[in-house]
Amino acid sequence: MSVLLSGALQSALYTRLSDDPVLAGIVGVHVYDAVPAGPLPDLYVLLGEEAVKDASDKSGAGAVHDLLISVMSTADSFLTLKQAASAIWDALSSADLALSEGRVVGLWFASSNAKRSAAGQRKIDLKFRARVEA
């Protein structure tokens, strides 16, 4: 199965985060599934890397998706990034994700990591694990 539902899962994550009023109050409309061309805003959310493992069994096709969602900023402080990260966690843990095909069996927070780049940019990577079935 592996990537069969990757597109549906990414679309559902993007929609959930883009439509979340708390997250929108922090980052505005700046939720991306690809880095846009041109200058970037001072604060934005980026759906990132994904690793998928087959988890099919005798009941049907399934997969485990390890997902990365990043909060990026040029701010001097991590506070606003942490507020955005908290809003992402709340948005993804508060209700079931509806996929255009298949279904999400579970979505779990795995870890986070706050970093400061040499160029001064701040970044919080949030890792989630999703289990999907076709």
Question: What is the pTM assigned to this prediction?
Answer: 0.92
Q: Output the pLDDT for position 94.
A: 80
Q: Output the pLDDT for position 2.
A: 58
E strands of 1-134, at which residues? 31-32, 43-54, 62-73, 103-116, 122-133
Which regions in the chain score pLDDT beneath 50? 1
Q: Output the pLDDT for position 119.
A: 77
User: 21 is written with which tokens?
Assistant: 């009023």
Which residues have C-beta within 8 Å of that of residue 12, sequence separation ≥ 6?
97, 98, 99, 100, 104
SS3 115: strand
d(CA 69, CA 88): 9
What secondary structure does DSSP assign to 68-85, as a single string? Answer: EEEEEE--S-SHHHHHHH
Which amino acid does the sequence have at 20?
Answer: D
6-124 belongs to CATH 3.40.30.10 = no
For residue 15, give the DSSP letter.
H
d(CA 65, CA 27): 25
